[in-house]
Amino acid sequence: MFGAVAIIGLGLLGGSTGLAVQEYLPGVHTTGYDADPATRERARARGLVAQVCETAAEAVAGADLVVFCVPVGAMGAAAREVAGHLKPGVLVSDVGSSKQTVLSSLSEALPGVAIIPAHPVAGTENSGPDAGFASLFGRRWCIVTPPDDANPILLTKLVQFWEGLGAHVELMNPQHHDLVLAVTSHVPHLIAYTIVGTASDLEEVTQSEVIKYSAGGFRDFTRIAASDPTMWRDVFLSNRDAVLEILQRFTEDLTALQRSIRNGEGDRLFDHFTRTRAIRRSIIEQGQDDARPDFGRSDHNGQG
């Protein structure tokens, strides 16, 4: 296992990683840095890592593993800050939601450094240093996307690291990861942002009515659409090709549903909804969500 871990970016994922390491891997020393002085101050107050540093270079100086927990669009700049300050044999990783561009950005900024990207598929609608909690990764998947020339020993250690934080780990190539996440995360977020924006733009329905009469569907869309705008802007730009491919498929399927509604094809609608209902049940059966009415989100002070 890694003896010292540096976390660059101390928001939801970075803070949760720091708390999880301290709780579940107590022999591992943690350092951290965030570009925002106010975030560093809150990170100290909450004890997100053992030592909050004033520069990224100081944070990574003795680290065996450096984890970048910054928006994917900021990966290259963050990596350049630590170039020349990493110790020999260090492994660099991340928690970003798109992998091809992250691997390219980190490799360009840190030539000759071992880089194995990763993506813990876990999070909440909350962001910032107050949002993190140690159990965020428990029973969630972490997808590790090693390049073809990845050091097998470092790869094994990274897998063991995430397993130690409670995650289930799966290996995947970066291209396939980006397509899968476009389906399961990126396009659903885009749809959520869109429907909430549509509701706010309707002149015939007041915003107070939208808020007052929000039932389960719209309420859950707004939960997703409350996610960090900087992170999601970067995700859509960095995973552009896969998102556009899935959006095209979605548009075609949506058009088919429009046709069924227009033509009164009740049997076709029923069959479609039955199939999608089965997928929801499978998600619950695999422990990737909660069947309770509030989806278990009362846990962790609303952060579950």
**What are the boundaries of each domain within the chain?**
4-172, 176-302
Residue 235 has pLDDT above 80, yes or no: yes
Mean pLDDT of 40-48: 98
Spatial contact of 99 and 174, defined as CB atoms under 8 Å apart: yes
Mean pLDDT of 72-98: 96
Spatial contact of 63 and 30, defined as CB atoms under 8 Å apart: no
For residue range 78-90, what is the model confidence (pLDDT) as tens digits?
A: 999 999 999 999 9
Residue 101 has pLDDT above 80, yes or no: yes
Mean pLDDT of 55-62: 97
Which is more confidently placed, 293 or 71? 71
Is 4-172's fold the same as 176-302's?
A: no
- The CATH classification of domain 4-172, taken from the options 3.40.50.620, 1.10.10.10, 3.40.50.720, 3.90.550.10: 3.40.50.720
Q: How confident is the model at residue 304 (pLDDT cuts 50, 70, 90)?
A: very low
Average pLDDT of the chain, as a whole number:
89
For residue range 7-28, what is the model confidence (pLDDT) as tens digits?
A: 999 999 999 999 999 999 999 9
Strand partners for 91: 65, 114
Mean pLDDT of 226-253: 89
Residue 300 has pLDDT above 70, yes or no: no
The class level of CATH for 176-302 reads mainly alpha
Which is more confidently placed, 65 or 303? 65
DSSP assignment string, 229-298: HHHHHHHHHHTHHHHHHHHHHHHHHHHHHHHHHHTT-HHHHHHHHHHHHHHHHHHHHTTSS--STTTTTT
